[in-house]
Structure 1
Amino acid sequence: MELTVLGCAGSHTGPGRVCSGYLVEADGTRVLVDCGNGSTANLQRLCRVEELDAIVVTHRHPDHCIDLVGIYHALRHAEPRPARVPLHAAPEVVDTIAGLLSDGHAGLAQVFDVTEVRSGDVRDVGPMRLTFADSVHSVPTLAVAVEHDGRRLVYSSDSAGGPGLVDFARGADLLLCEATWQGDAADFPPDLHLTARGAGEVARAAGVARLVLTHVAGSLDPVRSVAEAAEVFDGPLGAAVDLRSWVL
C-alpha cells in the first residue's frame, strides 16, 4: 500500500504547498482521500481523475473538499463519460458542494455514486478496507483507517485529538496526523486542531510505528513542527511534503 501526499498545507496554501489531498494505492486500486484547494493538480501528475476507484472526503471545510468542484467538471465533460465514481463523504459535504453547482445534487449524481459515511462505517474499495471514526473538530469530521495486506494507515483528518483518536490510531503502521499549530496548545481555541507536540503525544499514546505530520498551517515552517513533535515521540517521524510517498 502506497500513500502519496498531494497537498499538506493546513487551512490555506503555503509557499509550494497546496491543501489537503492524499492518494492511497494498492494492487492497482486508487483512492483519493480529501481534495482541498489545488490538490487535484498534483493528482493529475499521477493519474487521470477518471482512473480513481473511489473518493473519500472527511469534512466540508474548503481546504479538504473544494476540488470536488473541479473533479465534477472533469468527469462531467470527459469523453467518453466514465462510470460514476464512488464518493464516500462525511455529513454536510455533498450539500456544500451541490450549493456551488448550477445543477446541484442532480449534477453530482451524474458523475458520483454518493454515499454518506459516519463513525463506525466500513467500506471496501478493491483490496482495501476503509473504516471511519468521529474526529473532534468544528464540523462533522471523520478520521479514516485504510487496511491492506496486514498494514494499517490512519489519517486523523482535522482533529483536536483526544482519547477517541488515540484508540482509533492504536498500533497503526503509519499515522498521518494533523499538526496545524506550533507552540503551546493553551494559546489556541479548544476542540479545533492539534499542535505539533499534540500530534506527537497522540502518536506516542497510540503506539504507532511511524508519524507523518500534515496540515501544518500554510504560513508555518514544517521543520519546526517536526522538532516539536520529536520532543514527545521518539519513533520515525517526518513532515508531509507535496508529492512525497510512503510505502507500507
Structure 2
Amino acid sequence: MKLTVIGCAGSFPGPESPASCYLVEAPFEGRVYRLLLDLGSGSLGNLQRFCDLRDIDAVALSHLHPDHCFDMSGLYVVSKYHPDGPLHRIPVHAPAGAAAFLARGYGVDDPLGMTEQFDFSNWRDGGTVHLGPFTVASVLVDHPVPAFALRVATEDHSVTYSGDTGPTEALVELAEGTDLFLCEASFVESVANPANLHLTGAEAGDYATRAGVKKLLVTHIPEWTDRAEVEADVKGTWAGPYELVTAGASYDLG
C-alpha cells in the first residue's frame, strides 16, 4: 500500500502545491489499483507526474468545496474526450448531491450530467464500501458543508484521512491504530479561530495520540499560515513520528 501526496495546500492552491489530492495504490488482481482521495484545484496537472489519468480506478471525495473537488471537471474532459476513446466509467464516492453540483460547476447541459463518465455513490455516516483491494470507512465530521473523514484499509495496512473538519471525536475512533493519519491542520493555537471549520496542529496531535496512530502526516496548511507554528503546535500534543507533508512526497507501507 502506497500513499502519494499530489496536492496538500490548504483552502486554495499555493505556489508549491496544488490543493488537496492524495493517490492511494495497492496491488489488485495482478495490477496496481489507484484510488484518489479528493481532486482539488490544480491537482490534475500534478497527478499526471505519477500516473496516466486513464489508470485511475476510483475517486473518493471528502466534501464538495472547490479545493477538494473542482478538478473533477478536468477528469471529466479526459474521460469523455480522450483521443483513444471514452474511458471506463469511474466510481465516485462523495457526499449526496455531488453529481448535480459537479455538473453545474463544469456547465454540463446534458440531462445525464457527468453520469456517463462517473458512477456516483453517496457516503453514509458509519458506512463501508469496497473499492478494489480497499475497504473504505466513512464518518461525518464537522464542517460547513457535509464532509467525511475516510479510512482506507487493506488486509495489512490503513491510511486515515481527516478531510476538512473542526474538532470532532469521530476522528479518534476512525483513526485508531492506523499506519498513517493524514490530518488537516489549517489553524494555529495562538489566535481565535472560527468554530466548526478546521483543526490546529495541537488538535491533530491530540487525536493522533489518543488514537494510537503509527505516524501523523499533517496536511492542508494554507499558504498564509506559518508552518513552523503549526509544527510547534503538533509537538505540544504528539510525541511520535510526524511530517508536515509536501507535494510529491510518498509513503510506502509495504
TM-score of the superposed pair, with normalisation by structure 2: 0.93
Partner of 1:63: 67
CA distance in 2, matches of 1:140, 1:152: 23
Evaluate the alpha carbon distance shift between residue 104 and residue 220 of structure 1 in structure 2; reply closer, same or farther with a 3 A threshold.
farther
**Kept after mapping to 2: 8 A contact 1:20/1:34:** yes
Measured in 2, the distance between the counterparts of 1:77 and 1:9 equals: 29
The secondary structure found in structure 2 opposite 1:63 is: helix
Alignment correspondent of 1:37: 41
Mark the CA change 1:123 to 1:104 in structure 2 (over 3 Å): closer, same or farther.
farther
Greater Cα shift, 98-107 or 88-97: 98-107
One-letter identity of the residue aligned with 1:67: D
Offset of residue 105 of structure 1: 5.7
Choose 209-218 or 114-123, whichever is displaced more: 114-123
Higher helix proportion = 1
Native 8 Å contact 1:91 1:118 kept in 2: no
CA contact 2:177–2:213 (8 Å) conserved in 1 = yes
1:95 and 1:105 in contact (8 A); partners too: no
Percentage of matched positions with identical amino acids: 36
> What does residue range 79-228 of structure 1 map to in structure 2 within 5 Å?
79-100=84-105, 101-103=107-109, 106-184=112-190, 187-228=192-233
Amino acid at match of 1:86: P
Of 41, 53, 62 in structure 2, the residue corresponding to residue 49 of structure 1 is 53
Deviant stretches of 4+, over 3 Å: none
Amino acid at match of 1:61: H
Q: Contact between 2:98 and 2:120, CA under 8 Å: does it hold in 1?
A: no
Compared with structure 1, are the counterparts of its residues 222 and 242 closer, same or farther at alpha carbon in structure 2 (3 Å cutoff)?
Answer: same
User: What secondary structure is seen at the aligned counterpart in 2 of 1:137?
Assistant: coil
Tell me how far apart the structure 2 counterparts of residues 223 and 15 of structure 1 sit (CA, whole Å). 17
For residues 58 and 95 of structure 1, the distance between their equivalents in structure 2, rounded to whole angstroms, comes to 16
What do residues 217-245 of structure 1 show as CA deviations (whole Å, max 9, x unaligned)?
Answer: 12224343222201110000111110100
Contact 1:92-1:140 within 8 A present in 2 as well: no
CA distance in 2, matches of 1:64, 1:4: 16
Q: Please give the root-mean-square deviation of Cα atoms over the aligned residues, in Å.
A: 1.4
CA deviation map 1:110-134 (0-9, x unaligned):
1111111221221211111111111
Map Cα deviations across residues 134-178 of structure 1 (whole Å, 9 max, x no partner): 111111001010111321110000011321111111111110000
Q: Distance in 1 between matches of 2:21 and 2:110?
A: 23
Does the residue aligned with 1:106 lie in a helix, a strand or coil? coil
Runs of 5+ consecutive residues of structure 2 not aligned to the other structure: none
Paired amino acid for 2:39: C
**SS in structure 2 opposite 1:132?**
strand
Secondary structure of 1:47's counterpart equals coil
Cα drift, residue 3 of structure 1? 0.4
